[in-house]
Amino acid sequence: MELFRYKRSFKKALIWAAVAIITLYRNRASIAYPIFMISTLAILAWDAKSMGKSLIKSIEGKFDIKLFYCIALVLLSVNKCLTMSSGVLIGNGIGILLLFSCLLLKLYSNQEDKEITAMLIKLGEFFIVPLANLTKPFIDAAAAKRARAMAAVGIGDAAPEESAGKKTFKSVMIGLLIAVPLLWIIIALLASADMVFGDIVGDILDSIKLPKFDEDWFGVPFKFFLSFLAFYTWTACLPAENFYQKKEGTKFDAVVAITFNSLIALVYILFSGIQFAYLVGRMDLPGGYTYAEYAHEGFYQLLAVTILNLALVSFCKKHFANNKILQVLLVVISLCTYVMIASSALRMYLYVGVYGLSHLRVYVLWLLVVLTVWTTLLIAGIFKDGIHYFRIITVFVTVWYLVLAFSFPDKWIVSYDLGLATPPNDIYYEDYPDAVSIVLEKGDEDAWETYTRHLYDTVGDYKDKSILEKAREFNFSEDAGIKLLDKNL
């Protein structure tokens, strides 16, 4: 087993770690990211083929959820080099991590549970796999070395003859070791003999930025090792992992759930009535309240209760015996959850109308749509068994997030805020880097000055990058923004 794991995964892990360092080290938002992701998927496809599997097809030869994961991973990676918005980049990173984890679980262990909680447990255990198998690469390498030694002994006392490929590799390495010092001397002499040649050599050397000794000489090998270890343990050890298996236990008495859900439902019905009266019906508020203040005051508490409701309905459906009365109560709570979601959306709408948009407010509105779909799915699950909750939610959230990411929220957030009667005065380049063209087009001199404050050094640093640095770290949004800033500063 050790020898099999070594032969299948060791070289691939080294290649993947090298690709990760070359493309991503200190470089998380550039054109190198989609290159890294496509390379990663190619290595996984290579590894899957060595096991008689397919990266995008099931055992029966049909396209399955793995194809969706691969397409989504590539799209998220492409978006990484199209935006500089910190919130979107963080969302992209989280999405890539979760989808990549789901892809590996499905590919190597065929793990995909219908229940969201069960799948989250498996994802948690997925990240423990490298820690639980820290020594596997070294044990497998030692086993492979022993196997080679035993094979050599079996042949005879003489050492086995090297293959032609190994001889060629050794010869090339010896040649390189000889060439490096000789070339150093020769190029130095020729550069001093000819000014044009010397300038060309100087430009080449200036474009090669060696890592800083205090950070990168340690960071590069350390992150290379971590990348190698993660890839090796995931690809080589996942098939042997025993993941959480759903067990059908005895369900609790439905009367218990009916009792506490009845009381909860009564409170929610009363609360829902107040929402209609004050937010929809616009009844008079207590003294000193504006509708914007009223809307903002309880928004996040309401959002927390909404999420609690979803967890409550899921728990009751899973752990309590089927009962018609319980089903009715769960439907009532779910319908009240719709009211809470609508109330949250209306509260945020009122607040945004006065104070404008921001990243957080946009993400909250995005989340409300997710919660609406989740609630609908739970209502369907109350009456129908066998719904694949995790897959439906994963696909929807991924697609809905891609819509948000590729809409470039920085641009329409700033466009909306600058269109208000009293635009906010806290729109800065650091917060909305994708919106340079929008501010230039719609903003007055004060808005433009606020937006571009402290950016002279940023433009200078960008211009000072070498050709190799620009090629490796190129980001379309950054390049377009810096060019506009340079032209109009």
DSSP string, 229-254: HHHHHHHHHGGG---------PPBPH
Residues 279 and 403 in one domain: yes
- Per the structure, the complete domain to which residue 83 belongs is given by 2-138+213-240
Distance CA 251, CA 311 (A): 17
The last residue of a domain, from among 385, 407, 429: 407
Sign of CA dihedral 136, 140, 142, 143: positive
Distance CA 278, CA 294 (A): 9
Residue (of 259, 271, 335) closest to 302 by Cα position: 271
Residues 274 and 290 in one domain: yes
Token pair for 232: 């090796």
Residue pair 408/85 in contact (Cβ under 8 Å)? The answer is yes
Residue pair 429/451 in contact (Cβ under 8 Å)? The answer is yes
pLDDT band for position 159 (cuts 50, 70, 90)? very low
Residues 359 and 267 in one domain: yes
Residues 17 and 130 in one domain: yes
Lowest mean pLDDT among 95-104, 180-189, 435-444: 180-189
Residue pair 95/103 in contact (Cβ under 8 Å)? The answer is no
- Indicate whether 148 belongs to any domain: no
Rg (CA), the chain: 29
Q: For 168-200, what is each residue's pLDDT tens digit? A: 777 777 777 777 777 777 887 777 777 777 888
- What residues pair up with 222 in beta bridges, in sequence order? none
Distance CA 87, CA 65 (A): 27
Tally the domains of the chain.
3
Distance CA 320, CA 241 (A): 31
Distance CA 168, CA 164 (A): 6
Express the helix, strand and coil content of the chain in percent, nearest 5 each. 75, 0, 25
Distance CA 3, CA 139 (A): 9
Query: Residue 252, SS3?
Result: strand
Sign of CA dihedral 279, 282, 286, 289: positive
Distance CA 60, CA 340 (A): 44
Residues 117 and 225 in one domain: yes
Residues 346 and 264 in one domain: yes
User: At residue 252, what are phi and psi to the nearest 5 degrees?
Assistant: -75, 165
19-45: average pLDDT: 94
Residues above pLDDT 90, as percent of the chain? 33
- Indicate whether 284 belongs to any domain: yes
What does the pLDDT read at residue 298? Answer: 61
Residues 463 and 337 in one domain: no
Q: For 131-156, what is each residue's pLDDT tens digit? A: 888 888 888 888 888 887 777 666 54
User: Considering the entire predicted model, what is its pTM?
Assistant: 0.82
Residues 318 and 228 in one domain: no
Half-sphere exposure of 100 (CA within 13 A, CB side): 22
The last residue of a domain, from among 377, 407, 437: 407
Residue type (1 letter), 254:
A
- Indicate whether 367 belongs to any domain: yes
What does the pLDDT read at residue 293? Answer: 59
Distance CA 121, CA 244 (A): 7
Query: Residue 63, SS3?
Result: strand
